[in-house]
Every structure is written in structure tokens, then in C-alpha cells.
Amino acid sequence: MSFNNDSVTYTVEDFEDGVKANVSVISDPDGNLLFYATGCRVYNKDFQIMTNGDSLNYGVIWDEFCNGGFYPMLQSTLILPDYHVSDQYYLFHKKEDFDTITNEFATKKLLYSIIDMSADGGRGAIVEKGIVLDTSNYFITSTIEAVKHENKLDWWILQLSDRSDSIRTYLVDELGPRKSRKQYINTNIPVERCGSTSQSCFDLRGRQYAIYCPSYGLDVYNFERSTGVLSNHKHLAQTQSQGTFSGLAWSPSGQYLYISASDTLWQVDTHAENLQDGLELIAEYDGFASPFAVNFVKMQIGPNCKIYVSSQSSVQHFSVINSPDEKGQDCDFVQHGIELPYIVPPVPLPNVPNFAIDEEEVCDPTITSVFDIPVTVQTDQIKIAPNPTNGMTTVHFTEKSTGHYSLFDHSGQLITSDVFGESQSLALDLSTFHDGLYYIRICDEHNGCVTEKLVVVD
């Protein structure tokens, strides 16, 4: 997706492995894709397996799931740049194996791999893979979270323990990743605490850390970026059934937390002395499906200060909190308010830290929604020429098609629409159009619906 022009543009790529719930991605400062990881493999910017990038987390679980590209641990990979070594990145990943002590599958290995982006002509290579960071504990299978150190060069990583009452803290500095401390958080945590149903996150300034687990509730802490220490613990026993998928996100100011629990969405005012007093129900799932239930699961705040809510199943819509720093219903939560160009797999939000943490504005609410106007889909199946045009232009198909088209102005207002019969091309007369940017949406029997930009000039 490119946001560098008047509208967002999508480049469609087909490749064998699916990208599902366990995905982490990193771009360069200009937004160009560097590489991404699925928990099974690491792919370069050309969507090919990176050198030495196959067989990530190899084992019993890999054999069972990775032929479909899906490692069954939600948001459990994390990519961080190494600010001490040029072109070097760390990929953190957790591995699930059969535990002979408990006779069940468990996550006992926190690993990392080192990627050198100067290798293979800038496409990158894994130079060290599967380095053990910690095997001394059981870990929950879901989110691993990172935040920049106050020195702006190092990283803190927090990982919640399973079957215990502690959070493991790791420091990534010029010496590389290493253990820092075990922090005890609450003596009343049950043995079977959380799994993929939970989510944790830092606020956008890195001063607060929160965990939500549907079988237990919400925990909120202050966080000190210079030392990695958690303090001022608050607990909210707002619980759901253990099997409920859930999500968590901070508002831009760090005052409000949003809890998603599949069929309900809640707001918590963390400034309240008692979190129970700050709890407010925002919405209940309205039953909408596209094609499956567009319910409320993982959440993530975007660069425009809005919070996006994914679903438990494959759907073509996201829900959105438009004004998350407003109290109660004024937060303007819109169920299934964003229609995506395609159906996306379950809970597809990648796990990324806030790289703008030390900037003057950690998010920019003036960024307008990219879905207010049609998006441009770039595809090899349809070509438009000439474009720009001073009047006549032709849409070319790779094979004869029937369908319909719609023309929109730059603001997304429909100008005209029509059907076309079986043909390999469609001629358009734009000689009466004013100079400017337009969009044409074409739906045909072979390519589905795509949208392209049209520019009219003198």
C-alpha cells in the first residue's frame, strides 16, 4: 500500500504461502517494504523466501501448520532494527513444542534471529537463526511487546509468563538481546492464565503497559523507559469466558484503554482511582457478517490516531474507533465501518512497536481516511492507455470480458456508470471532462473489481 499520492494505491501480489494471524513486517524510513515473517518463514521485499529464511521455528508444529504459511500463535513474532549496527535487524519469535513434563504442547522457547539487509543485493539474509534468548519459563503464545529505551538506541521487550505471576523483561542494546529481570505482577494470577486470546500493549509514549486476558481481566502498570521497571499496578476483574478472543489498545493520550471481547467493546478510563469506576460499555456486536462475523478481536492504533479492530474470522470489513480520546459514546465507534478491497484472514494485524514514540506528535489526527475515495489497484490484467489523456483513452483486458464500470471524480463522487459487452477493450471519451484526477472502477467476469487512476489534461 502506498500513501504517497492523492490516494492510497494497492499493488496486488500472488504468492504460495498465506499471511495470517502470525505476521510481523518492517519497512525502511520511506515506507518501502524490507521483509516480513510469518512464524514459519521470512520473506524479502520481492515476496520470495529470504536467504536462510525457511524453516523458522522448525519442529512438530511447523510440520503440521507451515505448509499453509500459518504458525498458530497470534502476534508472536516481532521485528526490531538494531540501531547499533547498520542494516541489521532482530527477529524475535516463539516456538511451541510438546512438553514431556506436562504431556501437552507448550511455549517454552523465546528465540531470535539476526538479519543482515546488506546481503543478497539488499534483499537481506538471515545470518544467525534460532538463537535461544530464554528457555527458563512457560510463555503465553500471544503478543510479545517492545518499546524504545529512553536513550532512543536500545529496546525493552516484555513477555508475559504463563503458569506464573511474572513478566519477563529483556534488554536489546549494543551487546545484543539479553535477559534483564523477572518482575512479579500479582500473586493472585491463576495457573492457566492466558493464551492466544489475550493482547498486551504500551501506550504511544511508552509510559504505560497493559495486559488484557479474557479469563482473568485487565492489568495496567506504569513503565519506566530508562530502567524497564513496572510499577503502580491496577487490576480490573472484567472477565469473559476463557475461550473468548480479545484485544487491547490505548488511546493517543494514554488516558483510555479499549477492551474487545469478541461480542462487546469496552472503554476504561485509567485515570480513575478504581478501574471499575472507569469501565463503560461502548458497543455490542450487531450481527453483521462479510461473509463471517465482523466481531471485535485484536486492535491497533493507526498513524491517524484511530483504532482499528479486526475480527476472529475471514472478513472484508474492519471496525474503527474514530475519536478514541473522547469519553464514552463520544469515541465514535463504527462497527464494520471500513470496507477492505479484499477478504482478509482472521486477526491479520501485525505486531509492531510505535516508532514515533519520541516525536513531537505520536500520531496525526489530520490524516484523512484513505477509504473516503476509491482505491487504486495495480494489476497486470487491465491496462489503460493513454493515461494521462486529453480526451480518448482505452481500457485493455487480457481476454474478452463483460461487466460494468463507474467513473468518479477526485473526491469520490460518482460521475457516470455503464455496462459493456463481451470485448477485449473498452473505449472511453473524456473530452468533456475538466482537467484533473479521476478514478475508474471496473468489474468484469475475469478480474473481479479493480480501480485505477485516470488523469485528464489539455
Tens-place pLDDT, residues 133-142: 998 777 877 7
- 115 vs 452, higher pLDDT: 115
Residue at a domain's end among 348, 366, 384: 366
- Among 125, 129, 47, smallest CA distance to 95 is for 129
Note whether 272 and 214 are same-domain residues: yes
* Per-residue pLDDT at 451 exceeds 50: yes
- Distance from C-alpha of 159 to C-alpha of 143, rounded to nearest angstrom: 8
pLDDT for position 411: 56
pLDDT of residue 70: 77
Domain boundary among 314, 331, 366: 366
Question: Does residue 131 form part of some domain?
Answer: yes
Domain ends where: 94, 109, 135? 135
Q: How far apart are the two ends of the chain, measured CA to CA in Å?
A: 30
Is 382 found in the same domain as 362?
no
Asked whether residue 141 is assigned to any structural domain, the reply reads no
**Quick check: is 360 in a domain?**
yes
Q: With 70 as the cut, is the pLDDT of residue 6 above it? A: no
Tens of pLDDT, residue by residue over 52-101, are 999 999 988 888 888 766 788 877 889 999 999 999 999 999 888 877 77
**Host domain of residue 52:** 1-135
User: Are the C-beta atoms of residues 71 and 19 closer than 8 Å to each other?
Assistant: no
Among 163-167, 248-252, 392-396, the least confident range: 163-167
* In-domain check, residue 182: no
What whole-number distance in Å separates Cα of residue 253 and Cα of residue 238?
Answer: 23
Rounded-to-integer distance, Cα 410 and Cα 373, Å: 7
CATH number of the domain encompassing residue 390 = 2.60.40.3080
The predicted pLDDT at position 409 comes to 74
Asked if residue 354 and residue 229 are part of one domain, the reply reads yes
Please indicate, yes or no, whether residues 90 and 194 belong to a single structural domain of this protein.
no
Same domain as 207, residue 104:
no
DSSP class of residue 331 equals G
Per-residue pLDDT at 191? 42
Task: Say if 200 falls within a structural domain.
Answer: yes
Question: Domain check: are 410 and 355 in the same one?
Answer: no
Q: How much is the mean pLDDT over the chain?
A: 85
Give the per-residue pLDDT at 108: 83
If one counts the domains in the chain, the total is: 3
Bridge-partner residues for 283, per DSSP?
265
The answer as to whether 176 is a domain residue is no
H helices present in 56-184, as ranges: 60-65
34 and 59 belong to one structural domain: yes
* In a domain? residue 413: yes
Same domain, 113 and 245: no
Same domain, 259 and 356: yes
pLDDT for 321: 95
180: in domain:
no
For the purposes of burial, counting CB atoms within 10 Å of the CB of 271, is it exposed (0-12), middle (13-18) or buried (19 or more)? exposed
pTM attached to this predicted model = 0.79
pLDDT of residue 241: 54
For the cut 50, the answer to whether the pLDDT of residue 187 exceeds it is no
For the segment 307-364, what is each residue's pLDDT rounded down to a tens digit? 999 998 888 889 999 999 999 999 999 999 888 877 887 766 888 899 989 988 888 8
Residues 362 and 385 in one domain: no
